[in-house]
Structure 1
């Protein structure tokens, strides 16, 4: 049986032949991340695996995958609820393609200039720039929202494809994991970044909840009340970019927008905005955790499995609500 403890800052793993040192936990952000993943979350999951007899819960890379999935299922519906009520659900797909271009830029620079840039961080920068560009095109040029989305979507995908071919396909292998999602690519560093992004998104939404809600349901009245609607519009699209990049490693670029829309659609029958947000997060948790588990056992793509489970939850919910309504009629 494997256990984990911390002795004078050093993480140890119990093995049959005694204690073996595997990591030194120091101070700073990396030390905090290691303590959280190993001595807190890791220990809890190891004990759960021992108690339940489910060995997969004790696998370090599956522990990271589950934690990433839980984070995605929180921030996706949290931001997606505002987007769906604004009829902006497709912006997730647009920013996902922009993030794809960002990953391609990062891998291209690493391959051609021998740099060591994080593709995810480059994708985050590119996705945020794309989000601001989309909003600027809508507000300053009078362009329809779907037109600006189409321009940024196709432009991002075009840039990514050009960079892939510019290296004779040399970065294609590295980018496939970002296109389709992969459990194996969820590294400790990626989980640490995703945890930070989740905390940031949750904090920003909590602080700006009322003006965001007001601007979502009645933009004209919000302007009359002195709310800077333009600022909150930009904030919402930037938060969307953060969610997209955070979810990309599990979901993949092609399917990442689903977590912004499908769980929210599942919760539409719940009355009250806060309750619908909570219900959407629950639906997202069911989809991501179940999808990751099924993906592991059947050896299929995590992103696609999560989306199919999410759609199944949506269909089951709608059928259940409809059946209940018919019985009451």
Structure 2
């Protein structure tokens, strides 16, 4: 049964990989011909849905597919390092960046991409967490809690200074909004995803080493602080891309919940990573379909689906306990 499960995960992972290379990467960079969308619309109507007939939904699905990959990829390392809240912290830092970018726009007319400002703020916040942990000797939840509360407080002050930003829907960044996923946002998410996956692939062994035995990594002269900083910066990239759909409040869920479910089903770190990607994609695509069908917020729907999968994994594990390693 175990080998059958692993084969199924690998097969689904292969399907996801083919779909990303053949459809979603070309779509993100505007390389798909118009006849592709026409064919997708006709297929959707044959299945009884208009979802595939709207270009903004293709943008949303594309961003969602990338979130379903990079969230679990980074989350697998964070969960095993007991740093699950770092995603929530950087999401609040990115929110402060959105508020600051909107304030600049209101004050100077600078038409900046808010996601790029959020990205810069999240990276600064990520490096700030690392600096606090290194300089103060505090580790884990102390610098994370300080950065989380401080950045959100700063964001609220920017909102007050800007008079509430009546012309910008801040709720879209708090709770997610599929209407903000325009072509530029999709291309940015695709680039962020390529960077995250590429860096993790290149630094996989070192990240794995510091995840399970940081002290031994130091003895082996691995630059632990540098790789810790790298992991946090990669987390910032994932958070900024994910907040388009999930919003600040829910963005940490895609870093944690699919990995938590996969940890109950898989028998190794690598299989946990693979399984979490499959679960992440299942949650994203099912959540988007349900949100469209019942006019629900996509972020909340995606997270509830992911939690449902996690609870199913809990029930399965209790019924068929399997040793992990």
Same fold per superposition (TM over 0.5): yes
Match of 2:19 in 1: none
Match of 1:208 in 2: 203
Shift in Å, 1:48: 4.1
SS in 2 for 1:316: helix
8 Å contact from structure 1 (residues 266, 313) kept in 2: yes
Question: Which structure ranks higher in relative contact order (CA pairs < 8 Å, sequence separation ≥ 6)?
Answer: 2
Match of 2:273 in 1: 277
Structure number with bigger Rg = 1
Match of 2:320 in 1: 324
Match of 1:72 in 2: 67
8 Å contact from structure 1 (residues 107, 171) kept in 2: no
- Is 1:57 matched up with 2:55? no
- Is 1:292 matched up with 2:291? no
Match of 1:161 in 2: 156
Shift in Å, 1:324: 2.2
Matched positions, count: 297
8 Å contact from structure 2 (residues 28, 183) kept in 1: no
8 Å contact from structure 2 (residues 77, 208) kept in 1: yes
The 5 A counterparts of 1:33-44 are: 33-36=29-32, 38=33, 42=37
Supply the distance in 2 between the matched residues of 1:148 and 1:105 (Cα, whole angstroms): 22
Report the CA distance shift for 1:266/1:179 in structure 2 as closer, same or farther (over 3 A): same
Residue deviations 1:168-194 (CA, integer Å, cap 9, x gap): 212574321111001111111101100
8 Å contact from structure 2 (residues 284, 302) kept in 1: yes
- Is 1:133 matched up with 2:128? yes
Match of 1:182 in 2: 177
RMSD: 2.1
Q: TM-score, normalised by structure 2?
A: 0.86
SS in 2 for 1:268: helix
Match of 1:315 in 2: 311
Structure 2 stretches of 5 or more lacking a match? 1-25
Runs of 4+ in structure 1 deviating by more than 6 angstroms, as ranges, are: none
Q: TM-score, normalised by structure 1?
A: 0.85
Shift in Å, 1:121: 0.2
Match of 2:115 in 1: 120
SS in 2 for 1:45: helix
8 Å contact from structure 2 (residues 175, 246) kept in 1: yes
